[in-house]
């Protein structure tokens, strides 16, 4: 895609070639389910879709085609204020409702999501660019699973926190990113409602549609007005959500830069804060690992959702003795990945979420070449319109390279090598982040030692990117704090005495 031709470097063999030609058009809609999109989406406040006070709208683009999909309201600070008023009004009755009654509403939300799963999957793929097989088999079912799981907790809070008198915070302000739009909404809203909080949530500006479709589900489930409010817009609207004086708790998922801003602006306000931020996870392959299985895990670890994954296995650390064998297998495997129309069920790598993100990925790939790493891209062709990037492998990466340090958030893998286990640990932990890691080995004792030594919130062993609502997820260091999922995630939504 639009990466400038690399400058000649004196290093190693022939200059790696970035391929731009050979573009093709695709049938825009092989997937038959109707996503039931509206032309315009308005904020959902107090149980109703209301016109934004600003009167302004912005386009949500389909990154698979580069064309506008719908208009989204730009909520102003006044709209955010109205949403907080509605959420505050709804809080006393909602929080006093017996847990079993709140649970019934959550079960209903989960079931309606299941009923409308195809529609949600197609809408998610069109708005965000992820392959339909992922939105269909992962995002939407997992979102429903989070509501089912938390529905079960709603009447068991006293059991979850014995003797601690768990109480909701009040109104929770939530801001989510564009990589898993519906699923991040579920991670945020399900535990908040189960514990008796009410919410004001802002989806990301490139992917607001499934959040507003979820608002339809909230209406369909008959939730009391004001328990869930959805406001749309970009950073300014997000800042209004976070900084509103009625927010008793703030939950944010997104970039570390914005996370730091939020930490500063909430400091001293008494707001409870949880942050789930970026990552630069090490996926570590030892020489005794089953290599074919590891290669599948490496591919899944970095190319799932085009690499737009905070816990992506974006740094491969491979033991020197098997490095050549692993790299050869990886190149072969990457060469058969299908890049293209996100709505085609055979697509492995869909569209990059936005032009901005595509530019960011292209810039970091250029930096990788300039710093002397060796690039491999398969010679696959790309759709003519929309935002696409080839799966990319960089070998010969050094720890100081930008592609080894910065979150690329795209289909780009940086490969480093190590000799000993302690060197692997040192390299893996040599990052400002600490969200996740992977370990591939046949030795159980090594798995236990590594999972203790790695400074990462989640450590996968002989698998990668496995999620479950029962399992807490969250980071260390610049990856944030607080957990989502499991009893630990629930605990962040209650005051304990």
Pick from 127, 205, 348, 374 the residue near Mg ion by CB under 5 A.
Answer: 127
Q: Is 278 a residue that touches ligand NAI (CB under 6 A)?
A: yes
Query: Which residues in 348-387 contact ligand NAI (CB under 6 A)?
Result: 357, 360
In the complex, minimum distance from the CB of residue 381 to ligand NAI, in angstroms, rounded to a whole number: 25
Q: How far is the CB of 431 from ligand NAI (least distance, A)?
A: 14
Q: Rule CB under 5 A: say whether 431 interacts with Mg ion.
A: no
Residue 175 sits in the site that holds ligand NAI (CB under 6 A): yes
The single residue of 119, 276, 374, 407 carrying the catalytic annotation is: 276
Q: What would the two tokens of residue 365 be?
A: 């790939």
Closer residue to ligand NAI (CB): 247 or 277: 277
Residue 60 touches Mg ion, criterion: CB under 5 A:
yes
Number of residues that bind Mg ion (CB under 5 A): 4
| Interface residue with Mg ion, options 65, 206, 256, 319 (CB under 5 A) | 206
- Contact mark string toward Mg ion, 18..57, x via CB under 5 A: ----------------------------------------
Concerning whether 380 is annotated as a catalytic residue, the answer is: no
The region of 146-154, 163-171, 257-265, 297-305 touching ligand NAI under the rule CB under 6 A is 257-265
Asked if 128 interacts with ligand NAI (CB under 6 A), we say: no
Q: Beta strand 57-62 with 67-73: parallel, antiparallel or unpaired? A: antiparallel
Q: With respect to Mg ion, which residue has the nearer C-beta, 135 or 206?
A: 206
Active-site residue flag, 423: no
Return the number of the residue (171 or 184) whose C-beta is nearest Mg ion: 184
Residue 409 binding: pick among Mg ion, ligand NAI, none (C-beta 5-8 Å cut-off by kind): ligand NAI
Spatial separation of the C-alpha atoms in residues 6 and 254, rounded to whole Å: 31
| Choices 78-86, 124-132, 304-312, 371-379; region in contact with Mg ion by CB under 5 A | 124-132
Report, in Å, the least distance between residue 324 CB and ligand NAI: 31
Output the smallest distance, CB 330 to ligand NAI, in A.
23
Q: Does 238 bind ligand NAI (CB under 6 A)?
A: yes
- Site membership for ligand NAI, residue 179 (CB under 6 A): yes
d(CA 423, CA 18): 33
360 binds, among Mg ion, ligand NAI, none (CB under 5 to 8 A by kind): ligand NAI
Binding piece for ligand NAI, criterion CB under 6 A, among 162-170, 185-193, 234-242, 282-290:
234-242
Residues taking part in catalysis: 276, 310
- Using CB under 6 A as the criterion, which residues of the chain lie in contact with ligand NAI when the complex forms? 175-179, 202, 204-205, 234-235, 238-239, 242, 253-255, 258, 261-262, 277-278, 310, 357, 360, 407, 409
């Amino acid at each position: 895609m639009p990466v400038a031709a690399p400058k000649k470097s004196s290093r190693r063999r022939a200059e790696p070639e970035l391929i731009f030609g050979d573009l093709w058009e695709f049938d825009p809609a092989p997937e038959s389910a109707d996503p039931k999109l509206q032309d315009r989406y308005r904020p959902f406040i107090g149980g109703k879709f209301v016109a934004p006070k600003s009167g302004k709208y912005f386009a949500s683009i389909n990154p698979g085609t580069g064309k506008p999909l719908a208009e989204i309201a730009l909520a102003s600070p006044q709209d955010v204020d109205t949403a907080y008023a509605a959420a505050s009004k709804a809080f006393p009755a909602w929080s006093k409702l017996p847990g079993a009654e709140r649970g019934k509403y959550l079960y209903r939300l989960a079931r309606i999501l299941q009923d409308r799963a195809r529609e949600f999957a197609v809408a998610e793929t069109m708005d965000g660019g992820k392959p339909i097989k992922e939105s269909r088999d992962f995002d939407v079912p997992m979102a429903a699973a989070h509501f089912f799981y938390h529905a079960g907790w709603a009447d068991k809070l006293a059991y979850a926190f014995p003797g601690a008198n768990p109480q909701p915070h009040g109104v929770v302000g939530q801001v989510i990113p564009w990589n898993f739009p519906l699923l991040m909404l579920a991670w945020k809203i399900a535990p908040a409602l189960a514990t008796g909080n009410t919410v004001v949530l802002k989806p990301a500006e490139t992917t607001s549609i499934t959040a507003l479709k979820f608002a339809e589900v909230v209406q369909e489930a008959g939730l009391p007005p004001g328990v869930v409010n959805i406001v749309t817009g970009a950073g300014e609207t997000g800042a209004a959500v976070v900084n509103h004086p009625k927010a008793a708790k703030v939950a944010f998922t997104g970039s570390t830069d914005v996370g730091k801003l939020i930490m500063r602006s909430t400091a001293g306000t008494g707001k409870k804060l949880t942050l789930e931020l970026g990552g630069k996870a090490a996926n570590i392959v030892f020489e005794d690992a089953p290599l074919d299985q590891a290669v599948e895990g490496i591919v899944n670890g970095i190319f799932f959702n085009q690499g737009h994954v905070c816990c992506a296995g974006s740094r491969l650390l491979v033991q020197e003795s098997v490095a050549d064998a692993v790299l050869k297998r990886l190149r072969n495997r990457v060469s058969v990945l299908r890049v293209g129309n996100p709505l085609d069920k055979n697509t492995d790598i869909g569209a990059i979420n936005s032009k901005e993100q595509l530019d960011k990925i292209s810039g970091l790939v250029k930096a990788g070449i300039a710093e002397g790493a060796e690039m491999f891209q398969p010679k696959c062709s790309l759709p003519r319109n929309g935002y696409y990037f080839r799966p990319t492998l960089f070998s010969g990466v050094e720890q100081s390279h930008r592609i080894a340090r910065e979150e690329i958030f795209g289909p780009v893998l940086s490969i480093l090598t190590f000799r000993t286990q302690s060197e692997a640990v040192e390299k893996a932990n040599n990052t400002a982040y600490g969200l996740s890691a992977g370990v591939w080995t046949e030795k159980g004792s090594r798995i236990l030692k590594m999972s203790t030594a790695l400074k990462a919130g989640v450590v996968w062993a002989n698998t990668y990117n496995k999620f479950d609502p029962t399992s807490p997820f969250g980071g260390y260091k610049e990856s944030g704090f607080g957990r989502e999922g499991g009893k630990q995630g629930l605990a962040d939504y209650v005051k304990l005495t």
